[in-house]
Copies of this chain bind each other. A is one copy, B any other.
Amino acid sequence: MSNRGMLIVLSGPSGVGKGTVRQAMLKDKDQNFKYSISMTTRNKRPGEVDGVDYFFRSKMEFESEIENGGMLEYAKYVDHYYGTPLRYVNETLESGTDVFLEIEVNGAMQVRKKCPDGVFIFLTPPDLVTLRDRIVKRGTDDAATIEKRLEKARSEIKMMQNYDYAVVNDKVELAVHRIEKIIESEHLRVPRVIDIYKKMIGVVNR
């Protein structure tokens, strides 16, 4: 009764704390997913290990992966490539195991196009939630500060629209707990389980 694994994508605006939430999720030994390690051309920092923190590759190797269609998503930041190798993701999903990605919003939108049945979770800055309170208490912030914050909020809400779930990162443990519930609950979705039942009956009809 095995089934294809589920692709879980955690993303959100830069600075929201995606990495911290991901690390906390990986520490939980009850997790059943595999974390997909990113590939990068940037230099290894002290303490980082190839194949643990990143797959460290040369620019030529990375570009050859792109050309061969080997990247699920990728982007260039400050002259360095970052991306998700497609093969590990596919093989793990095929084996019936969930795969967890923690990536930037541009990468998440690339993945959404290729894997529309993935679960896309947007990590929301807590100050987006408290924005209204801050505005109500006007006077403490000047007009320019409010306008700047508002512009950021508009752009964040625009991003959020492309996701399935919005999880506020008010506390790391709470955010992790919410994401875990989403994963468990998504496994009960009819489109994800009905093939198992249909196959079961197919097996029987032979």
Q: Given A135-B203, A181-B181, A203-B132, is A166 in contact with B153 using a C-beta cutoff of 8 Å?
A: no
Query: 1/0 per residue A165-185: CB within 8 Å of B?
Result: 111000000000010011011
Q: Does A161 touch B at the CB level, under 8 Å?
A: yes
Residues B204 and A188 in contact, CB atoms below 8 Å apart: no
Residues A194 and B157 in contact, CB atoms below 8 Å apart: yes
A178→B185 CA distance, assembly (Å):
7
Please tell me the number of chain A residues within 8 Å of chain B, measured between CB atoms: 36
Q: Given A160-B194, A161-B194, A194-B166, is A153 in contact with B201 using a C-beta cutoff of 8 Å?
A: yes
A178→B161 CA distance, assembly (Å):
27
Q: Does A150 touch B at the CB level, under 8 Å?
A: yes
Q: Does A200 touch B at the CB level, under 8 Å?
A: yes
Q: Given A131-B204, A153-B201, is A190 in contact with B161 using a C-beta cutoff of 8 Å?
A: yes
Residues B185 and A181 in contact, CB atoms below 8 Å apart: yes
Residues A166 and B182 in contact, CB atoms below 8 Å apart: no
Q: Does A100 touch B at the CB level, under 8 Å?
A: no
Residues B154 and A166 in contact, CB atoms below 8 Å apart: no
Indicate the member of A128, A146, A163, A194 with the most B CB atoms within 10 Å.
A194
Q: Does A186 touch B at the CB level, under 8 Å?
A: yes
Residues A204 and B164 in contact, CB atoms below 8 Å apart: no
Give which listed residue, B131, B194, B204, contacts A135 with CB less than 8 A.
Answer: B204
Q: List 10 A-B contacts (CB under 8 A).
A: A132-B203, A132-B204, A135-B204, A157-B197, A157-B201, A163-B190, A165-B188, A166-B189, A167-B188, A181-B181
Smallest CB-CB A-B distances: 8 pairs: A185-B185, A132-B200, A165-B188, A182-B185, A157-B197, A181-B185, A135-B204, A181-B181
